[in-house]
C-alpha cells in the first residue's frame, strides 16, 4: 500500500485540509455569484471560487511545497522524487508541467493526466501502482482546475449546470452541478517517517465506451472500476465504510452511479454510507479525485462522515444510504472515492485509514 504522508488542498473554503473540513462540517455550500467573468448571457451564474483570478500553476507550486514539507522531504529526497500531474490540457501544458517540476525541486514529470473529471484519481492510481511494483519509492501527485469563462460557457451551453446554483446529488429535483475551484497535492510513499493521512490500498480504472457524454444506465464502467479496486486490495464490500461518490447532481449520471454502487457492493450496496461533497465544494473537474481523496482522509482523521448536502427527498433511481445527518462515524475501515468523466471513463481509489 502507498502511504499518503503529505496532503495540501485549496478549495473555495480556503487553503489547507482544516479549512476544507470546516466547510464540510458547516454543510453550507461554497457557491457564490461568479465575479471572475461575465455570466449575464448564461443560464447559470454561481460557482464555488476562491477570491480573484489565481494562476493554477503558481498555486500548484505552493501546494506541492506544502505537501513535501508536511511529509518531511529534504531537498535531496525531493530531487529523487518525480511528479505526476492532472490538469486540463492546453497548448503549453507540457512546458508548464516541466517548469513546475523544476520549481518544486522534483526529479521530472512522469505523466500529465487529462482524462476529464477522472484525471487526478487516475494520477493517484498510477503513482500507487509505480510504488507498489517498486519502480518508485515516492511520488508527488498534484492537480487542479479553476473555473474559467470557456469551461463555464461550455457546461452552461450544454444545459448541464444548475440554474438554481445549488447542487443536489442523488436527490429528487436535482438539476446539475455547480463548478468549483480546486487544487491539491499529495505525497505517496512506500515508507516514510510522517504519520500517514491514509493508505491507498487499491484502485480501479474502466471505460464503458457507451456514449461520449451519456452514461450506461446500469453503471457498467463505475461498477467495473469498483470491482477492480476491491480485487486489487483483496477485500470484500463488507469492509467499505464510506463512498465519496462522483455524483454531479445530474439526473442520468447520479442514477447510473447509484446502480453501479448497488451492483458492485452487493449485497451491501444499499447500506454503505454514501455522500457527494460536490454539493459543498463544487465540481472541481480534473482536481476532483485529489480534493475528494482529501475529504476521505479528513473523514478518517476526524471519525465523521461528511453529509450529502442539498438533499430535498428520495429519488427512486438512487436507492442509496445517503449521509444526511452530522456526526455519523464510518462503520468500517475503508472508503471508496469514485470519479467518472465524459467518454465513459471511471477511476476508483480504495483508501484505508491511517
Measured between alpha carbons, how far is 45 from 29 in angstroms, rounded to an integer?
Answer: 15
Is residue 62 packed enough to be buried (19+ CB in 10 Å), middle (13-18) or exposed (0-12)? middle
Give ∠ CA 180-172-27 in degrees, rounded to 5.
45
Catalytic positions = 117, 246, 283
- The owner of cell 429519488 is 315
Amino acid at each position: 500500500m502507498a502511504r499518503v504522508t503529505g496532503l495540501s488542498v485549496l478549495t473555495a473554503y480556503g487553503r489547507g485540509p482544516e479549512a476544507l473540513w470546516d466547510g464540510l462540517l458547516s454543510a453550507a455550500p461554497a457557491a457564490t455569484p461568479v465575479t471572475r467573468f461575465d455570466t449575464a448571457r448564461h443560464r447559470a451564474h454561481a460557482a464555488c471560487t476562491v477570491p480573484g483570478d489565481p494562476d493554477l500553476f503558481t498555486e500548484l507550486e505552493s501546494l506541492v511545497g506544502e505537501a513535501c514539507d508536511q511529509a518531511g522531504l529534504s531537498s535531496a529526497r525531493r530531487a529523487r522524487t518525480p511528479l505526476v500531474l492532472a490538469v486540463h490540457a492546453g497548448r503549453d501544458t507540457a512546458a508548464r508541467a516541466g517548469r513546475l517540476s523544476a520549481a518544486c525541486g522534483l526529479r521530472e514529470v512522469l505523466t500529465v493526466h487529462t482524462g476529464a473529471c477522472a484525471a487526478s484519481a487516475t494520477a493517484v492510481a498510477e503513482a500507487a501502482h509505480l510504488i507498489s511494483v517498486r519502480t518508485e519509492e515516492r511520488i508527488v501527485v498534484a492537480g487542479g482546475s479553476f473555473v474559467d469563462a470557456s469551461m463555464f460557457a461550455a457546461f452552461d451551453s450544454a444545459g448541464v449546470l444548475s440554474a438554481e446554483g445549488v447542487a443536489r446529488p442523488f436527490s429528487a429535483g436535482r438539476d446539475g452541478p455547480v463548478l468549483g475551484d480546486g487544487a491539491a497535492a499529495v505525497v505517496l510513499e512506500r515508507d516514510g517517517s510522517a504519520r500517514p493521512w491514509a493508505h491507498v490500498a487499491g484502485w480501479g480504472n474502466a471505460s464503458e465506451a457507451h456514449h461520449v457524454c451519456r452514461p450506461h444506465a446500469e453503471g457498467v464502467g463505475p461498477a467495473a472500476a469498483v470491482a477492480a479496486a476491491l480485487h486489487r486490495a483483496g477485500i470484500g464490500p463488507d469492509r467499505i465504510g464510506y463512498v465519496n461518490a462522483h455524483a454531479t447532481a445530474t439526473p442520468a449520471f447520479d442514477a447510473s452511479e447509484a446502480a453501479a454502487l448497488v451492483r458492485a457492493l452487493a449485497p451491501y450496496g444499499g447500506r454503505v454510507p454514501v455522500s457527494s461533497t460536490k454539493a459543498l465544494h463544487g465540481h472541481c473537474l480534473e482536481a476532483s479525485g485529489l480534493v475528494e481523496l482529501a475529504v476521505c482522509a479528513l473523514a478518517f482523521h476526524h471519525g465523521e462522515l461528511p453529509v450529502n448536502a442539498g438533499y430535498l427527498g428520495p429519488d427512486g433511481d438512487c436507492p442509496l444510504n445517503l449521509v444526511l445527518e452530522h456526526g455519523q462515524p464510518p462503520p468500517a475501515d475503508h472508503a471508496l472515492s469514485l470519479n467518472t468523466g465524459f467518454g465513459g471513463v471511471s477511476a476508483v481509489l480504495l483508501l484505508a485509514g491511517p
